[in-house]
Homo-oligomer: A and B are copies of this chain.
Amino acid sequence: MDRKYASALLDNAVNQLASLPGIGRKTALRLALYMLRRDAGYTEGFASALLALRRDVCYCLTCHNISESEKCSICADLRRDHTTVCVVENIKEVMAIENTQQFRGVYHVLGGIISPMDGMGPGDLEIESLVRRVEGGEIKEVILALSATMEGDTTGFFIYRKLQPCDVKVTVIARGVSVGDEIEYTDEITLGRSILNRTAFAADNSHNT
């Protein structure tokens, strides 16, 4: 719309919506007009949910996962195995691993990954607090569940070095051919790793998705 006929209110709302990642100006306009069509209570509920999220959410003092109190529901759950800590980059990975229902231990959220390109150094991450947790003595195994990228590997190696003085087993999640992938199209580094790290054959293992 010609600038001089635009509504400043609409313009402002569109700009805010378009500032979200993956939302372009066309989508932002569509969303703003959708809100105008809905009743006022809808937009109020929408805005207050976002404000409440930003204002009231806090982070677990132990594992730095998202929480609504000082201890997140995973750390507070006594039926989980508190001797096994899974180290992840972000909250999203906690959700992804929880969804597999294959892990009954607890987590440690780093809050990022070592990436000099993005100005993220080890000091910006929750690595010191992980070391202090492990020094507490209760933890027997630290599982590194970081991305299979250069940054993930660097971060994993840094944590491994930091934990060497402690009496703790450091493991890394398996890398290999994804379930459903064809050998023919698997890249050679993944395929090489999957041969090196082969495991004993189990009849129920091949399609255990």
Contacts and interface: CB of A to CB of B under 8 A. Distances in A.
Given A1-B94, A98-B5, A35 B54 contact: yes
A40 interface: yes
B20 A31 contact: yes
A49 interface: yes
Contacts of A43: 50-51, 53-54
Size class of the contact patch on chain A: 35 or more
Contacts of A90: 33
Interface stretch (A10-18, A179-187, A200-208): A10-18
A36 B57 contact: yes
A133 to B, nearest CB: 19
Nearest to A2: B98
A103 to B, nearest CB: 11
Interface stretch (A21-29, A141-149, A164-172): A21-29
Interface of A: 1-2, 4-5, 7-10, 12-13, 15-17, 19-23, 27, 29-36, 40, 43-57, 66-68, 72-74, 77, 90-92, 94-95, 98-99, 101
A73 B5 contact: yes
A12 B48 CA distance: 10
A5 to B, nearest CB: 5
